[in-house]
Amino acid sequence: MIPARVSGCTRVLGAPPGWTPETSGPCQGLPIRDEMNGDMPAMVSAWEPTPAELAAIAAGAKIELRVLSGGHPPVWVGVGEVPT
């Protein structure tokens, strides 16, 4: 998935402290929109699937979310395997 500019973007999150691109891979800025979800603060990001991911989703693959740390973490969004 490719991080996209979210409507109403309020800031861009960078790599978390201690991130090592050599072992953890690249970490580009993530545009987010800060908003409230009821009485809780929330951050919203937007993602665009690549053509290969769109094909996998169309074939039945699930979208997966990987949390990389505790607290409010950076996240990874991707597409799972095509079911057989």
DSSP bridge partners of 75:
67
Mean pLDDT across 53-78: 78
Structural contact between residues 42 and 72, judged by C-beta atoms closer than 8 angstroms: no
pLDDT at residue number 34: 95
- Alpha-carbon distance 56 to 50, whole Å? 10
pLDDT at residue number 68: 67
Predicted TM-score of the model (pTM): 0.71
The model's pLDDT over 35-48, given as tens digits with 9 standing for 90+, comes to: 998 898 888 888 88
